[in-house]
């Protein structure tokens, strides 16, 4: 049973446009959420995170939105650049000994 | 030094072989992790070491044996593996082992068991 789900295996976006990657979770005990980015032949690298006490966190071109009632978060990339083409993993964790659970990833293609 | 290194990058082994995967970090992190990732699946946690002590073992078969010789090194000893153990093995580290720690990942070792 996947507790963190990324239902879109891939997403294609034109350069300069907005990329929106979605993530749903089922465990209401999760209170910390992260996005990681992975290029081929490299390990995942941390991108941005959000605590459950917030509904938005912004870092440059990257913004993460959290909707706790819907158990949904999204990553917005504006404007998208070809170098953003990678696999994006959503991850969730919680206090009380919860390990970090990863989604299956969404492959983003940004076309020039 | 802000990276996690893993060796080897690729490994092919038979079911009767014994091999080891190595992971190293020099960021002073006190928690280190092993994950297994199959194609098109999320990374799945195998083991967590916190302050060089095994703190989480996710019911991993005994043919996988972790070892943390010191705070910078993490090994995964492999013995009598099965073909279904073929996967990408990722090592990660974090400053502490709390729930809100950012993990820093190595590039992984791609393992093929014949």
**CB atoms A43 and B40 under 8 Å:** no
- What is the C-alpha radius of gyration for chain B, rounded to an integer number of angstroms? 13
CB-nearest to A98 from B99, B107, B108 is: B99
> How many Cβ atoms from other residues are within 10 Å of residue A68's Cβ?
15
Contact A65, A55 (CB under 8 A): yes
**CB atoms B99 and A32 under 8 Å:** yes
Tell me the per-residue pLDDT of B6-38, one tens digit each, with 9 for 90 and over.
999 999 999 888 999 999 999 999 999 999 999
Q: Does A28 touch chain B (CB under 8 A)?
A: no
Tell me the per-residue pLDDT of B72-93, one tens digit each, with 9 for 90 and over.
999 999 999 999 999 999 999 9
pLDDT at B39: 87
* Average predicted confidence (pLDDT) for chain A: 94
> How many Cβ atoms from other residues are within 10 Å of residue A26's Cβ?
13
Q: Residue A95 has which token pair? A: 């206090």
| Kind of pairing between the strands at B10-13 and B109-113 | parallel
Pairwise CA distance, residues B59 & B82, whole Å: 16
Tell me the per-residue pLDDT of A41-61, one tens digit each, with 9 for 90 and over.
888 999 999 999 999 999 999
- Reference B113, options B73, B67, B56, B64; nearest CA is B64
Closest chain A C-alpha to B105 CA, distance in angstroms: 5
**CB atoms B108 and A49 under 8 Å:** no
pLDDT at A97: 62
Q: Does A100 touch chain B (CB under 8 A)?
A: yes
The pLDDT of A55-79, averaged and rounded, is 97
With H, G, I as helix, E, B as strand and everything else as coil, classify residue A8: coil
> How many Cβ atoms from other residues are within 10 Å of residue B46's Cβ?
20
């Amino acid at each position: 049973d996947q507790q963190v789900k990324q239902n879109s295996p891939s997403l294609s976006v034109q350069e300069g446009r907005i990329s929106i990657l979605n993530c749903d979770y089922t465990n209401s005990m999760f209170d910390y959420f992260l996005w990681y980015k992975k290029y081929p032949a490299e390990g995942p690298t941390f991108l941005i995170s959000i605590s459950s006490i917030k509904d938005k966190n912004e870092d440059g071109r990257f913004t993460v939105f959290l909707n706790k009632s819907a158990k949904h978060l999204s990553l917005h990339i504006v404007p998208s650049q070809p170098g953003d083409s990678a696999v994006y993993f959503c991850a969730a964790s919680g206090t009380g000994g919860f390990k970090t659970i990863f989604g299956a990833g969404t492959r983003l293609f940004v076309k020039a | 030094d802000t990276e996690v290194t893993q060796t080897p990058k690729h490994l092919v082994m038979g079911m009767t072989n014994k091999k080891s995967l190595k992971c190293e970090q020099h960021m002073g992190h006190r928690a280190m992790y092993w994950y297994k990732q199959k194609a098109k699946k999320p990374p799945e946690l195998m083991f967590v070491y916190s302050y060089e002590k095994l703190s989480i073992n996710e019911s991993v078969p005994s043919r996988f044996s972790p070892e943390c010789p010191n705070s910078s090194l993490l090994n995964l000893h492999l013995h009598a593996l099965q073909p279904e153990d073929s996967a990408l093995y990722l090592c990660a580290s974090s400053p502490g082992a709390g729930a809100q720690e950012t993990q820093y990942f190595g590039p992984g070792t791609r393992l093929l068991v014949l």
